Chain A
Amino acid sequence: MDELSITDLLQRARAEPAELDRLFGQCRNYLAVIARAHIEKRLQAKVDASDLVQQTLLEAYRDFRNFRGGTEAEWLAWLKRILAHNAANFIRHWQTTGKRAAKREVPIGPGDSSMAPRPEPADNGESPSQALLRKERALLVADAVAQLPADYQEVINLRNLQRLPFQDVAERMGRSRPAVQMLWLRALNQLQQILADLTNASQALAVNRHGPR
């Protein structure tokens, strides 16, 4: 069957560069969630991080030959290092050119789509079940976050990922504190639901693969 772990995918990608697309596709949500949380926390403003993610994926693609590790953890750590490097540049640029220039370059606002799932080049016709992997928890969580509606994502991003207290979350979102808290509770409930579904799907595949116990 086509069910693979990130470790398997890494091995495959070494032998068959076409598999790289698939590998990167699996990590996009993870990078997007992390990049947005870090950058926004640093800059204390809403920022579109999608270019940063794109840049990171491109560089990872280019330098894949230099990656020597074999485990999921090593792989994610490597991606994060590239992200960190790009993020530093992004922030420097943002700070020196000022918010306005940055705004001109990257769209910000309600149309922000940095965390929305986007069509991935990796999905060349493969069925949804094939696209599921036995993923590391962090990847699954990032995928689940990406499936949430925009305002749910926003509140999770501010309270959980940027670790802001509710008072600040309310200010940033322009809503009352109880409203934000209620939104958070709903977001957590839905996230649990999505996560359970993703985990079940992923586990079902793992069972198929190893046979019934």
Chain B
Amino acid sequence: MDPADEKTVAALDSYLHDVQAGRPSSREHLLADHPELAGALACLDDLDELAAKDEDDIPTIAQTGPAAPVARNLPILDNYEIECELGRGGMGIVYKARQKDLDRTVALKMILSGQLATDEHRARFRDEARFAARLQHPNIVSIYEVGEILGQPYFAMQYIGGPSLARQLRHGPLAPEQAAHLVLAVAQAVAHLHQHGVIHRDLKPSNILLDEESRPFVTDFGLVKMMAGDTQRTSTGVIVGTPSYMSPEQAAKSALVGPLSDVYSLGAILYETLTGRPPFHEATPLDTLVHVLESEPAPPRQLNHAVPADLELICLRCLEKDPARRYPSAAALARDLQRFLQGDAIEARPASIGQRLARWARREPALIAHLVTLGGCTLIAQGAYQLSVDVPLDFHLKIMGTLVAWIACSYGCQVLLNRPELSERMKFIWAWLDVVFFSSLLYFDDAIATPLVIGYPLLIAASGLWFRDALVWFTTIMSMISYAVLVGFEWHSIIDAHKNLMFEVSLAVLGFVVTYQVRRVRALSRYYERRSLP
């Protein structure tokens, strides 16, 4: 076997191993290193859906043979017979178990011992869990029992046989009606939690389990909050995971996290059930976080034409950045979904022109920045032309033509940037076009020795907003070359040359500073990433 194949096999096998063990997959990391394996990974996932699993839904088979071998080192609980491991999360391990006295199957969640450092924390955890155990709702996973074994807290919960919604959604979006029904049930369950003062805080497809009739069950509610007071958590690795479903106020770790944050997460779940992807899902958690805080999701209908307009309105209202603009409660969201399903007029209204402009600005900030800046420059140039008498028309037309062409190119760049497969390359192309257009303007206007050269530092600083150090260096070098070329055209005397050189050096230093900042933010992001939950 040649070494390349050997590596591929090893990578695929270790991924499959994780999938089969129910461990959080290393998918993102693997794809970052080997993007060409995307198809193979999808294939492995698909095959695993058909696999003969220990906890599989052909139960009679397991009962006829000898008892399945149980992994060693399982904790011993008197009343529970552990059958197999269902999964592991940052907070604990979930087993499928048999409760002996009542002869029923339960899901047993053992909380990792490091999570609850002191007796006080443990006591609070028990209280909170007991409180959660009192909640009964047809779409909430019931907690049967809370206990402790050898200082390790555990829960016994209702066992739901089906996959999680996250797993279900790997096969693509649901039909809009089906999605509305599902999110309606989840929203009602969440409304029930809110009524009893419990905020879920970590609603996401993997926390929604489906039974055999595809009824959703919300699980893991309130757990995050129970953990929240534990100051040890940052050093033991529990922090909320992917920011894809997190509300902006939660992502910003603001104090305003409340029921409306759950409404946002419900919107994110609705979004994914309709389109097959979360509202924001970028290559790294940092990029996702930046988008959650600053930009707007693409309208669902743009991704899936089958989504009805009303359902899109409902979804986008949940995803409003400002909590006050969302539905006032999960119950209100449920009511609106109900109205939608009954064919009645919904409460969510289409966005006003102003709101739509604001959303557009958040969705395509780079384009808006270009339009505003270049539009302003065009207006000023036009004004200057009108006020002065000695500007020749052909010179004015040259300047205006360049500005208009620049605006048009920016628009084209944004359109191409929206295509995921082109977006990385387009960032470089756009930066290059900016430098070229700007340099042409300086050249036509003979403005190399005027304050207008501020444009170069501006472009370098702005390139840092993409958080790519390669892009910053690229813009810096392009700017330095362009400046050098322009100075070459306007060579007057050796006396001024050292000032030009100083400008070049300043550009390089600026590039270094911006790169340094980008690297620093990236390092923080990696720190954050390592701490993420599955």
**Residues of chain A whose beta carbon lies under 8 Å from any beta carbon of chain B:** 30, 33-34, 37-39, 41-42, 71, 73-74, 77, 80, 83-85, 87-88, 91-92, 95, 136-138, 141-142, 145, 156, 159-163, 166, 178, 181-182, 184-185, 188-189, 191-192, 195-196, 210, 213
Contact = CB atoms under 8 A, between A and B. Distances in A.
Contacts of B47: 141, 145, 156, 160-161, 191
Contacts of B58: 38, 80, 83-84, 87
B421 interface: no
Contacts of A74: 213-214
A166 B52 CA distance: 16
Interface of B: 1, 5-6, 8-9, 12-13, 16, 20, 39-40, 43-44, 46-53, 56-61, 63-65, 171-172, 212-214, 305-306
Nearest to A163: B20
A87 B289 CA distance: 49
Nearest to A74: B213
A195 B46 contact: yes
A163 B60 contact: no
Contacts, number: 108
Contacts of A184: 9
B1 A182 contact: yes
A92 B64 contact: yes
Interface-centre pick from B5, B12, B57, B58 (highest chain A CB count, 10 A)? B58
A161 B46 contact: no
A161 B50 contact: yes
B450 to A, nearest CB: 51
Given A77-B57, A185-B5, A192-B40, A163 B49 contact: no
Contacts of A181: 1, 6, 9, 13
B60 A88 contact: yes
A71 B46 CA distance: 20
Contacts of A163: 20, 51-53
Contacts of A84: 57-61
Given A38-B58, A87-B60, 18 more contacts: A34-B52, A38-B61, A42-B64, A84-B61, A87-B61, A91-B65, A141-B47, A145-B47, A159-B16, A160-B51, A162-B51, A181-B6, A181-B13, A182-B9, A188-B40, A191-B47, A192-B39, A192-B43
Contact of A178 (B1, B65, B306): B1
Contacts of B56: 38
5 contacts: A41-B52, A42-B65, A163-B51, A178-B1, A210-B306
A210 B47 CA distance: 29
Given A38-B61, A192-B40, A73 B12 contact: no
Contacts of A137: 46, 49, 171-172
Contact of B51 (A30, A95, A161, A182): A161
Nearest to B9: A181
Nearest to A83: B58
Contacts of B305: 213
B9 A141 contact: no
Nearest to B5: A185
A30 B20 CA distance: 20
Given A188-B40, A195-B43, A73 B50 contact: no
What are the nearest 10 A-B pairs in CB distance? Answer: A88-B60, A84-B58, A160-B47, A41-B52, A137-B171, A38-B52, A37-B52, A141-B46, A181-B9, A213-B305
Nearest to B13: A166
B201 to A, nearest CB: 30
B50 A138 contact: yes
A142 B50 contact: yes
Contacts of B64: 42, 88, 91-92, 95
A80 B57 contact: yes
